[in-house]
Structure 1
Amino acid sequence: MNSDDEDRESSNRDDTSSMSDEESDTDIATVLTQLIRSGRAHILSESNSVFEERNESFHDFLSGARLPFVDSPPDLTVLEGTDLYLSTSLSSGFFKHGCKSQSSRVTSLLFQRQVGMKGTGHFSGGDRSYIGHNYLPNKFKQVANCNHKMFCGTYSKDGNIFLSAAQDRVLRVFDTSKGGFDCIRKIPARDVGWSILDTAFSPDGRNIIYSSWSEAIHLCNIYDGVERHEVLPLCPELRRFCIFSLTFSQDGNEVLGGANDGCLYIYDCEKRQRTLRIDAHDEDVNTVAYADETSQILFSGADDGLCKVWDRRTLAENGEAKPVGILGGHVDGLTFVDSRGDGRHLITNSKDQSIKLWDMRKFSGSEVQQRTRTFMSSQSWDYSFQNVPWRLSCSKNKIAGDTSLMTYRGHSVLRTLIRCRFSPAFSTGQRYIYSGCAAGKVFIYDVLTGMPAVVLTGHSDCVRDVSWHPYSMDIIDSAWDGRHFRWFHAAPDSEDDIDFDSEEYITDSESNESNPGFRQRRSLYRDDDLVDGGGSREVRRSPRLAARATPQTARRTSQRQASNRRPPL
């Protein structure tokens, strides 16, 4: 055999070996993706030394260092012509007070109430919400640390109890009735696989339910002297089963859940049995919610990218269940659904890095549904451990025929089912949508402008859940760094007894100048535009905004930043 033949044979062996390696890598990646999606394998935390030493890019991804790129301003064309825009403007006080100087307007409102010009002797709901707009949370204090990933954290309906669930398989009940955050009970969870994934209060606030990778959900009491811990079996057909989302009906008789087998489950608490199992979606059902207090209309969102609307009165396990409508427009799976409570409007959080606002009276046609399914079938990335593809961050990928009223962008949705919610009606008139973020932030979007009103920064890992107190301007978040932060408003020159030697320090997060009359006069921000703000990060104003600032404003801003800067440790 001559040298040319030997070289050719050697080259063929190298090509064959290279092809085998590539096929092997592809097979490994496919198997890994399937294992993670099924819940049989999970990504280790960033503290794992193997990843820190061998894969810096993976470490950067785990730390949530980047925010999605926002390539265009919000489109308000559809929203401004809706009754939601008008009702929110009225309930939040914007329609009445407009874009007048907020500080002078608040002073005027206080004077009118003092001299009896308000008639009733107290502020209207719109006045109260307008004043609250000046006191959005901008500082935080650490209120709990369990050294395990926090998965859930919600206030009770009256705001007197806060329920927390972490990966250490413990439910923590905190008393918040007197403005504190005192742990009054720890409930060891049972039959937990991986972590507790969702929790819910009963309507009377006396019981809680939780779910995990288990064939049953569990019910516990909060106040009664005798401990109650019941198993509510769902009898699924899958061996590897999980309820990702659950909630009580308004009368407390039924529990609604969405599972990884694509089905909706309803458990009757009086009959003590599962009464309904509906094949709802082609993929995992990640989130469920009721439309209003009647509990007759319910929503479900899944990894097929669709949000389906169901009428409880037409559902029967032995019959063919059909949704009354479908909402399509997202280009990736849904992670959370929240209802505005008016029986019409809802929001959906998605792995396509956006929140969409919907009117359930405007369902998507069959063509839009098919476009969504076609787009979903072409997805080849996994949000559990991969970075966001560029095409998902591009707003030009909007599905033709999208019937959503508004799309909100800026936060990051990676690694877990991150939640978003409407702000409370009592204190804000539901003017805001707030969401967790994989980059360790809390985003508060202004419904009327589509822009973030405030971006709260403080956590070193993903913020999975957020809960706004129903009657005050406080937010408590739940993050994967194991901590709960209570976000509140404090004056720029307020020290609030900061102890810099304690972990419970307080930091700033500046709000944006956002109102419906001040639209898109700032540059679209990216993560590069976030600058140090005295221990936190704030949204940098555009040069156009900076040019409008007076010398007095600039001097006050400089003094405020100097007073808030933390001394070197």
Structure 2
Amino acid sequence: MASSERTLQDQTDHPEDPSVRQAAREWSEEADDTTEPDYQPSQSRSDDDEWEDEADEEADELMLEANDIENDNVTSATAQGGLTHINLGGIHIEFNTEDIQEDDDADEDDAIVVEDNGAANPTVVSRSRIFQLLASTGLREILRANGWPPGPEQDDDDDDYDDEELLLNTRMRRGARHRKPRFEWPKVPSDEGTNLMNSGHFGTNPYFVDRIKKRKGAFASNLMWRELGIGSHGLRMRTDQSIFQSMLPGSQADKIIHFDSRSYSGQFSDDGNFFFCCEQDFKVRMYDTSNPYQWKYYKTVEYPFGQWTITDASLSPDNRFLVYSSIRSAAYLAPTDPEDDTDPSLLDFSLAPGRARHYGLESSRSRFGIWSLRFSGDGREIVAGTSDNSVVVLDLETRTPVLSLQDRHQHHVNAVCFGDTSSPHILYSGSDDTTLRVWDRRSMADGREAGVFMGHTEGLTYIDSKGDGRYVLSNSKDQTMKLWDLRKMMSASKADEIEPDAWSTDFDYRFEEYPESDREAHPHDHSVVTFHGHKVLKTLIRCHFSPPGSTNSRYIYTGSSDGQVYVYNMDATLAGTIDVRSATMNSRPRGPETLANVWDMGGDSTWRTCVRDASWHPNVPMIAATSWNGWGLSTGTCTVHSWNDGADNDEGDPPIGRNFDHKLRPLPHFNNYRATAPSERAQRRARRPLRSRPVARTYADDAEEGDGEW
């Protein structure tokens, strides 16, 4: 064996010597004829980068040979003396399990003799070398089955090199080249979602008027039977529910309200008589929607000295007050009465619970930003999610925080809400740490949450509660929505043992597409239904349950960065889409603000649409979508879409698809431009890049804005 070790040393010193047999080269030629003929693996470990590259190529060659061997079923093994022999087709491997002490130049590792059957000059390779080549192949299992590596009683006292540690380190140095399980989407339609639809918790199933032909009642027939009042009370109620839940708003816009900055959120009040819309110019516009088809401008309130944008707003249950926030630790509370001109009241969420506000330079400094705000069902409290990784509850009577939940979320809290409309005890919070946490204020002596939902692999952008204290919906940067049931939440102690972001890809949702090739299934996902198809990119896109009045709670819906509103059935099937981009295409002329406010990764100034939020009217089949919308996403719109039975036009008055400014004043020159604007295809041909990437402001540059919101 000493002479064989010297042969190995000579081979390393003279790699081009034709008299030295190159077993790895012969293997590669047999496995793949396209391998370069002058390829010669190095036996030296002095150059780590070169060694890793060669090891990767040799491991791939051995993988091909191993596959051939397995398919031919010609693997055999014998043991004689101190050698273990494995015959792999035309290749013979001998494992020396005896100590090598004949030569001072011998490698400290046991030697492995690799040769063709009948070869006169076998090649000797060190044990660590062959394990490095076989670390990512199936041949390792063959070696283990034949007594290699040797047990502890066979190891040399002077050799403390652990083969298992070597394999692990080799995998890590190659970037963990293990094969992850193939990702598969959950079944659609979802069995759990179908059961929910059949149970009556989420709408009713249309019944057949002709069961033999499986024919359902037409809309006109249902309307006629309802007006005639024929049948039992239950039958009339089912007819009403079937009528409402089948009326999905169409893509044609009733009206297009234009803003000179991007629109971030907009919601109807619980009674449908009020609508507010938040823009990036730090203003919130309010509208009277008591007649949902004839909106009236109400008033505008402003956030003084705001940062980046209005992040969120919430309306009190009695519609008397509106609270709104920016990326600051203070929110403002403004009356909605158009006759009330008093200044908004400041609400400081950075105070410690029970501590009074101190005015001065230090008190005016923003400690964090507020991403989300919600009124409680009784209108007495406001909950906020912050960039300080915390959830804060503020009492409106004392104007001070009464609860601060910290040190549980590991990243920004992008969304918060109350779990029950009749009780302020249950809170939900969704964070960039991929978790949705449930808080019960009646049992928080240890400051920990009541339970945790895990299943998303990227940060959460929004959460919405059904209001029954049981079901909650979440939207995520992993391009999915999930429906959760509080009865299936994970305990806080068990969640503490799991790293929440271990399955994240760390992609930047503001500027990149989601890397689908890196998608992995979360092993602790206990969600009821998973919805996918929409895109959650560029900003914190929102999702909602459909209202019980106008939809019978049949659907969930979400905005999308591709310019559409996606409406899903509870069984994860797509019920329909509202194409906001097509409805608004070329609806305003290019202006000087276009070049100044373009938002696009490649400097694209064509017409782009990203629907950030949408609100379904509680009483009529109507959706109002607030969007980044315009040339290069430089401006914003609020578009109103109602059910029109699939018709492209409306014979009523006023005509649909007209353009208005933020005070609902008509914009006839916008209408004229749209009628003569070039086609989308012509715009794509004529577009010119403006810049390669928008200038990104981070929260670290200004009061630690972070990457939570844009």
Q: What is the TM-score when the length of structure 1 is the normalising length?
A: 0.69
Contact 2:194 2:570 in 1 (8 A): no
Matched letter for residue 441 of structure 1: Q
Q: For 1:77 and 1:226, how far apart are their aligned partners in 2?
A: 50
Q: Is the 8 A contact 1:244 1:257 kept in 2?
A: yes
Deviation at 1:339, TM superposition (A): 0.8
Q: 1:123 to 1:369 in 2, by over 3 A?
A: farther
Distance 2:208 2:486 in 1: 28
SS of residue paired to 1:174: strand
AA in 2 matched with 1:471: N
Aligned position for 2:134: none
Q: 1:352 aligns with which of 478, 491, 507?
A: 478
Verify: 1:207 aligned to 2:321, yes or no.
yes
8 A Cα contact 1:215 1:236, kept in partner:
no
Deviation at 1:303, TM superposition (A): 0.4
| 1:183 matched residue in structure 2 | 297
Aligned residue in 2 for 1:269: 396
CA displacement at 1:331 relative to structure 2: 0.5
Distance 2:481 2:671 in 1: 31
Name which of structure 1's ranges 430-439 and 222-231 shifts more when overlaid on structure 2: 222-231
| 1-structure distance, mates of 2:657, 2:501 | 55
Residues 1:112 and 2:225 aligned together: yes
In structure 2, the partner of 1:330 is 456
SS of equivalent residue, structure 2 residue 427: strand
Alpha-carbon distance in structure 1 between the residues aligned to 2:521 and 2:389:
25
Does 2:348 align with 1:225?
Answer: no
**Counterpart of 1:415 in 2: which secondary structure?**
coil
Cα shift at 1:231: 0.2
Q: Does 1:388 align with 2:502?
A: no
Which secondary structure state, in structure 1, belongs to the residue aligned with residue 500 of structure 2? helix
> What CA distance in whole angstroms lies between the structure 2 residues aligned with 1:489 and 1:175?
20
Query: Following the alignment from structure 2 to structure 1, what is the Cα–Cα distance between the partners of residues 207 and 527?
Result: 23
The answer for unaligned runs of 5 or more in structure 1 is 1-69, 508-531, 533-569
The 8 Å contact of residues 368 and 401 in structure 1, kept in 2 or not, is answered as no
2:577 and 2:242 map into 1 onto residues whose CA distance is 16
The aligned runs of 1:121-132 (5 Å cut-off) are: 123-124=236-237, 126-132=238-244
Deviations 1:292-312 (A, max 9, x none): 121211100000100000112
For residue 213 of structure 1, report the CA deviation from its aligned partner.
1.2
- CA-to-partner distance for each residue in 1:461-485, whole Å, 9 max, x for gaps? 2111110000010000111121111
- Measured at CA, do residues 437 and 71 of structure 1 come closer, stay the same or move farther in structure 2, by a change above 3 Å? farther
Tell me what 2:278 maps to.
165
After TM superposition, list the pairs within 5 Å mapping 1:396-415 onto structure 2.
397-415=520-538
Structure 2: how far apart are the matches of 1:85 and 1:329?
25
Residue number among 411, 416, 419 corresponding to 1:288 in the alignment: 416
Aligned mates of 1:321, 1:239 — CA distance in 2: 25
Is residue 2:289 matched to residue 1:192? no
> After superposition, what is the alpha-carbon deviation per residue over 1:320-342, rounded to whole angstroms, capped at 9, x for unaligned?
31111100000000001011112
Provide structure 2 residue ranges, at least 5 long, that are not aligned to the other structure.
1-182, 353-364, 585-607, 630-635, 659-667, 675-679, 681-710
* Residues 1:499 and 1:435: Cα distance change in structure 2 (over 3 Å): closer
The 5 A counterparts of 1:296-375 are 296-315=425-444, 320-364=446-490, 373-375=500-502
Change (3 A) 1:383 1:119: same
Residue deviations 1:234-256 (CA, integer Å, cap 9, x gap)? 22699551110010111111110
Aligned match of 1:252:
379
Between stretches 331-340 and 457-466, larger displacement belongs to 457-466
The verdict on how the C-alpha distance between 1:282 and 1:499 changes in structure 2, with shifts beyond 3 A counting, is closer
- Structure 2 counterpart of 1:484, from 638, 643, 668: 638
Relative to structure 1, the CA distance from residue 108 to residue 370 in structure 2 (aligned partners, 3 Å threshold; closer, same or farther) is: farther
Q: Find the residue that maps to 1:314 and give its secondary structure.
A: coil
Give per-residue Cα distances to partners, 1:193-244, cap 9 Å, x unaligned: 1100000001111100001111211100011633341001122699551110
CA spacing shift, 1:443–1:120, aligned 2, 3 Å: same
Q: Structure 1 331/370 Cα, relative in aligned 2: closer, same or farther at 3 Å? A: farther
Q: CA deviation at 1:449?
A: 4.4
Q: Measure the CA separation in 2 of the matches of 1:100 and 1:466.
A: 34
CA contact (8 A) 2:373 2:383 kept: yes
If you compute each CA radius of gyration, which structure gives the higher value, 1 or 2?
2
Count the aligned residue pairs: 428
**Bigger mean CA deviation after superposition, 364-373 or 168-177:** 364-373
- SS of 2:487's equivalent in the other structure is coil
Between the aligned partners of 1:128 and 1:502, the Cα distance in structure 2 is: 42
* Distance change (3 Å), C-alpha of 1:240 and 1:375: same
Q: Secondary structure of 2:243's match?
A: helix
For the aligned residues, what is the CA RMSD?
A: 2.9
Work out which of the residue numbers 253, 258, 264 in structure 2 matches 1:145.
258
Q: Distance in 2 between matches of 1:499 and 1:155?
A: 21
**TM-score, normalising length: structure 2:** 0.56
